[in-house]
């Protein structure tokens, strides 16, 4: 009975979230999926790429993610050991919150709190803003839209306290690795939104290789692996569309 009451309360909290928190996809510009992507997906079907992939995703796409992070942010990550392909950015956020914080902890969202609100309810952690003064187990969530002064102050606290950091790589900006937090940072993001691929459900998690295991294992427990054909199609993305 003790387990039923908290679960029921969390369901009530989920149902009471505003619409933007219940549909918190980071939307890209409306676009038609490029012909090259559709052709790559069709070729994958013809080859019989319809079964489970390796649980972290196909290695060429993981390498594409690693290359993107190095190109856009100067962040180095091991594609084979540190990158996990997820079912969209929503799953990446969910996995990060569930694995980085214990029940009763606090996630400090420096921007777009609606994107992580539902994951916080499920994990039963508090969701706080940049004016909070949390104690206990804390993690920090930000993206490229977070003002530099706010990000710098909180990242300094994270470095001093050893708090994990979740950086959403959807809007440029400065990666926490550049401020000495490479070993504390989990980078998440979506793949192909600007190319009209929201329904293909592609995202990623990237973490230091030594810490990526629990993220990968939890993702596998949720969805086993991300859709095979979607992954092969995404390999045809170029530049900002990736």
Q: What is the pLDDT of residues 188-226, one digit of tens each?
A: 999 999 999 999 999 999 999 999 999 999 999 999 999
Q: What is the pLDDT of residues 224-240, one digit of tens each?
A: 999 999 999 999 997 65
Please report how the helices 212-223 and 88-100 are oriented relative to each other, as an axis angle in degrees rounded to 10: 120
pTM of the shown model? 0.91
pLDDT (mean) for 5-16: 76
Measured in degrees and rounded to the nearest 5, phi and psi for residue 185 equal: -105, 130
| CB-based burial label for 79 (10 Å; 0-12, 13-18, 19+) | buried
In a domain, 165, yes or no: yes
In a domain, 32, yes or no: no
CA atoms within 13 A on the CB side of 236: 18
pLDDT of residue 238: 77
In a domain, 29, yes or no: no
Residues, the chain:
242
Other CB atoms within 10 A of residue 140 CB:
29
Domain coverage including residue 189: 4-24+39-241
Residue 14: band (very low, low, confident or very high) from pLDDT cuts 50, 70, 90: confident
Cβ contacts of 238 within 8 Å, gap of 6 or more? 36
CATH code of residue 121: 3.40.640.10
In a domain, 119, yes or no: yes
pLDDT (mean) for 123-134: 97
Q: What is the pLDDT of residues 78-98, one digit of tens each?
A: 999 999 999 999 999 999 999
Report the alpha-carbon distance of residue 129 to residue 222 in Å, rounded.
28
How many domains does the structure of the chain reveal? 1
18 pLDDT above the threshold of 90: no
pLDDT of residue 51: 93
In a domain, 20, yes or no: yes
């Amino acid at each position: 009975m003790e387990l039923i009451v908290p679960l029921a309360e969390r369901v009530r909290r989920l149902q009471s979230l505003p619409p933007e928190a219940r549909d918190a996809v980071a939307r890209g510009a409306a676009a038609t999926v490029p012909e090259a992507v559709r052709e790559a997906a069709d070729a994958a079907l013809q080859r019989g790429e319809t079964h489970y992939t390796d649980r972290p995703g196909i290695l060429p796409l993981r390498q594409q993610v690693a290359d993107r992070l190095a190109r856009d942010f100067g962040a180095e990550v091991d594609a084979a050991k540190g990158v996990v392909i997820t079912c969209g950015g929503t799953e990446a956020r969910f996995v990060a919150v569930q694995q980085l914080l214990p029940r009763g902890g606090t996630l400090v969202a420096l921007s777009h709190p609606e994107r992580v609100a539902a994951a916080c309810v499920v994990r039963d952690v508090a969701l706080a803003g940049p004016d909070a003064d949390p104690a206990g187990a804390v993690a920090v969530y930000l993206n490229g839209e977070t003002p530099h002064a706010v990000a710098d102050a909180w990242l300094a606290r994270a470095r001093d306290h050893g708090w994990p950091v979740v950086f959403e790589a959807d809007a440029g900006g400065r990666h926490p690795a550049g401020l000495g937090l490479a070993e504390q940072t989990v980078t998440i993001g979506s793949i192909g939104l600007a190319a009209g691929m929201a329904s293909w459900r592609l995202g990623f998690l990237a973490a230091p290789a030594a810490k990526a295991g629990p993220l990968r294992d939890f993702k596998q427990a949720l969805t086993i692996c991300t859709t095979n054909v979607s992954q092969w199609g995404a390999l045809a993305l170029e530049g900002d569309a990736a």
